[in-house]
Structure 1
Amino acid sequence: MNHAPARSPRVRPPVTVVDIDLARPGEFRLPGDGGPARPQGRARALVRLRGRPLGMVSAGDTSGPEGLWRALADTAHLELAGQLADHRAMDATGPSDPTVRHPTSRRAPVISVVVATRDRPEKLRHCLRSLLRSTYPAYEIIVVDNAPAHRTTEVLVRSEFPGRVHYVREPVAGLARAHNLGLGRARGSIVAFTDDDTLVDPGWLSALAGTFAHDPRIGCVTGLIVPAELETEAQTALELQGGFAKGYVPRTWSLSDPPPTDPLFPFTAGRFGSGANMAFRTAALRALGGFDTATGAGTPGRGGDDLLAFFEILIAGHTLAYQPGAIVWHCHRRTTDAVAAQAFGYGAGLGAYLAGALLRNPRRLPALLRRLPGGIRYAMTRSRARGADPEAGWSRRLALLEVRGMLYGPCGYLRGRLSGAGTGIR
């Protein structure tokens, strides 16, 4: 692929990402509860009401933080009026939302948090610090160092987080392999996964645990992913494309209650969430054999390990839930080259996932073929709608890269399998 030269210019004007709660006027927080903030100029805010996320809004004000907070609040009341009404109605009927539950250590299930990393110690340091600010009472953190070039990550974990973070090393490259090693070491009845370039919300684990507790049929929970920074043109472009966000309304999917508006269900696993914010009942994921190691970053397949796991969880009869109250802040890639590579990787991961789903059980092919005509019509309608909206930042070049990735994905998956990759927990 021929990409434009890598660049990471500053957005003009700069955009500061902050976290605000309409119930706490005038208060700004940094992503991942990194502390109080006093932003100036233009900002993009995750807006909450008593902890529940409603959406993201942008505003600018030159009169200082107080004026900026008022501008963001006014924009939120205008753009998020429906969500505000819904959440106020929920408050009137009682705290049924699992994100507002606070389990005690006596009854809280242990959650094992797995963070796979490779030679990014500074990003990992920030991620681990955010995890250790969690309000959840019972969790462990497992760092899986995946095919490292040096011992920097090991030194970081053992010197800065002794007794608080477990370190293990997976010598063979591949995100699925790293996750499987973490899964094999997990002691918790729930295993959660995030990436080393994220900051997790202090209530992330509580929201995950509350969602699992709400329904024993739930085998997997995914959560909201919002940007941790918007400092370059590439980061802003990715966010305008839709970023990683899957919305602010809790949802569930199951084979017994298929969504009427999704003609490709359950093959549209990309709609369910992302690997940067996912959790499983440990026994359910182990029963599937963990993640398919012919998929994922670091393999010829480039990705798709999370999508294939979501799909297999549904096929096994479990319910998959999306909980926007389980919040992770993601550090988007900073250069145009990186965003282009990411678009290709998304497509490749989708192609690899579909190839894996069919090769693992060829009897699924007729079901997929029956759904394809409706799925193609649905995709074309969405593409036309996005292309007609200049504010969406839709890029034909990125769309073509994603399509190329989808075409490459099955070949990448087969290359991974032929090179000796397979399934299984280590």
Structure 2
Amino acid sequence: MSSRSSSRPSTRPDPPAPPPRAVSVAELDLDLDTPDGPVTALRPAPGGPPLAPGDVYALVRLRGRPAATVIGAVREGEDPAEVLGALARERVETAARPRTEAEHHASKREVPRSGGTPATPPRASVIVATRERPESLARALDSLLAQDHPDHELIVVDNAPRTTDTHDLVTHKYAGRVRYVREDTPGLAVAHNTGAAAADGEVLAFTDDDVIADPRWLTALTEPFAADPGLGCVTGLILPARLSTPAQVLLESHGGFAKGFAPRLYDSARPPADEPMFPFTAGSFGSGANMAFRAAALRQAGGFDPATGTGTPAKGGDDLYAFVAVLSAGFRLRYTPEALVWHHHRETWQDLRNQAYGYGAGLTAYLTATLVRRPRMLPALLTRLPRGLAYARSMTAQRGEGDGGGVPGEHGTQHHPWPRSLSRLERRGMLYGPIGYAKARVAQAGLRKAAAR
């Protein structure tokens, strides 16, 4: 479900300078069984345009597994596979070198890949919340119906619809293959709770209507639950399907939605040394466009907070709240880059402004929700706050220090300076978040009273 903030930050023109160039997005398959392993395939990203001379951003797969991203300038007449293949081999070689101290800490949370036969993934329910986006929804559903998972169902939750477009699409084009559920109360968390209540899977997988899922997405996202009974949540990798506008390139240059290519395990019993605010650093765990929960764990955690999420005054934070809720209930959370979806980023400068404000609001709204619903976590937050603030200052100080040239090559490379106006909008959103959450709670209470009459 796409972000649709009701906030309208100032539309004063404030584009990044110089504007980032459009970038082709591709998938590059390498065989590295030999030192000079050949490129076995190069193709456009799913849902993206054909490759063209110029800058090309490519996902590197090693024997089918996502391993890195590279960016290369391909001139007219050059072989893109040759240019990108050389960069990919260099990237893989660099990744194998000794780690920095921060990377060493992170490596302690990496999950080793099993060399044995993968466990059979449990039955899964895929839930897609949507609102008035039938064209992008159809693209997402086509990819979800092509999954190689052996036992799953697909549910679309039509959230506060204004037209019958979504209903008509699902009940006509996808009749018998996709279940249609209507939820008239606006809000992403409410829609997710409604979808979860209608589902019968042991695992509940959630994604958005603006993604294209890799054919192995659902299998990779659900297999870990079969191997680890203490696992409550799994998140996956999100990469851009297109980088055709300056706003899309800028967002991806500062990390986008990706969380890297190393599998990681988060456990409240073993807090990570490199995250002083854990478990309140929920943004590092994953994103709502690519997440799955053990159904029993999500129920035990109380589900999604209905006063969070896009479509509510809180503007976001529903996924972050659920991550922390499941961790605080005693379950583990795993990030796996093998579970891949391609995301269609917002295209315009105003979209990016709204997104920046919504991120800030969602962050403090989810923290407020966590403390309101789990007041026992307040001492832990206060204890971690001094170190966390120092850590946040060091991280935000790096933003805006890009060199102003180039294009994104990997998560968070920050080749383009982050405009100060967007940082100001994020901070404004953070100030608003607790107020938005309170407004959403009041609205939810009013709806409950009206329903009880």
TM-score, normalisation: structure 2: 0.85
AA partner of residue 43 (structure 2): R
Partner of 1:397: 421
Cα distance, 1:361 vs structure 2: 2.3
Alpha-carbon distance between aligned partners in 2 of 1:276 and 1:340, rounded to the nearest angstrom = 20
AA partner of residue 374 (structure 1): R
Alpha-carbon distance between aligned partners in 2 of 1:206 and 1:406, rounded to the nearest angstrom = 36
Q: Which of 166, 174, 186 lines up with 2:199 in the alignment?
A: 186
Paired residues of 1:98 and 1:210 also in contact (CA < 8 A): no
Paired residues of 1:228 and 1:329 also in contact (CA < 8 A): yes
Alpha-carbon distance between aligned partners in 1 of 2:380 and 2:113, rounded to the nearest angstrom = 35
Cα 1:199–1:100 shift into 2, 3 Å:
farther
AA partner of residue 283 (structure 1): A
Alpha-carbon distance between aligned partners in 1 of 2:218 and 2:445, rounded to the nearest angstrom = 32
Query: 1:241-390, aligned counterparts within 5 Å?
Result: 241-390=254-403
Verify: 1:75 aligned to 2:83, yes or no.
no
Partner of 1:407: 431
- 1:392-416 CA-to-partner distances (Å, cap 9, x unmatched) read 4322211111111111100000111
The alignment of Structure 1 onto Structure 2 pairs a total of residues equal to: 409
Cα 1:212–1:108 shift into 2, 3 Å:
closer
The gaps in structure 2 that reach 5 residues or longer are 1-8, 32-37, 99-110, 404-414, 449-453
Paired residues of 2:238 and 2:258 also in contact (CA < 8 A): yes
Cα 1:136–1:99 shift into 2, 3 Å:
farther
Cα distance, 1:101 vs structure 2: 5.9
Query: 1:14-163, aligned counterparts within 5 Å?
Result: 14-23=22-31, 25=39, 27-32=41-46, 39-64=52-77, 67-83=79-95, 97=113, 107-163=120-176
Paired residues of 2:48 and 2:241 also in contact (CA < 8 A): no
Partner of 1:90: none
Cα 1:395–1:13 shift into 2, 3 Å:
closer
Paired residues of 1:176 and 1:291 also in contact (CA < 8 A): yes
Alpha-carbon distance between aligned partners in 2 of 1:302 and 1:76, rounded to the nearest angstrom = 38
- 1:126-158 CA-to-partner distances (Å, cap 9, x unmatched) read 000111111111111100000111001111111
Alpha-carbon distance between aligned partners in 2 of 1:380 and 1:45, rounded to the nearest angstrom = 32
RMSD after superposition? 2.6
Paired residues of 1:116 and 1:144 also in contact (CA < 8 A): yes
- 1:290-348 CA-to-partner distances (Å, cap 9, x unmatched) read 11100000000001111010001110000011001111111000000000100110110
Cα 1:38–1:372 shift into 2, 3 Å:
closer
Greater CA deviation, 386-395 or 254-263? Answer: 386-395
Identity rate, percent = 50
Paired residues of 2:159 and 2:182 also in contact (CA < 8 A): yes
Cα distance, 1:217 vs structure 2: 1.1
Alpha-carbon distance between aligned partners in 1 of 2:272 and 2:129, rounded to the nearest angstrom = 33
Greater CA deviation, 174-183 or 390-399? Answer: 390-399
3-state SS of the aligned residue for 1:29?
A: strand
- 1:352-397 CA-to-partner distances (Å, cap 9, x unmatched) read 0010011112232222111111011101111222333332432221
3-state SS of the aligned residue for 1:355?
A: helix
Q: Which of 432, 437, 440 lines up with 1:416 in the alignment?
A: 440
Paired residues of 1:158 and 1:167 also in contact (CA < 8 A): yes
Alpha-carbon distance between aligned partners in 2 of 1:328 and 1:43, rounded to the nearest angstrom = 19
Alpha-carbon distance between aligned partners in 2 of 1:68 and 1:176, rounded to the nearest angstrom = 43
Cα distance, 1:234 vs structure 2: 0.6
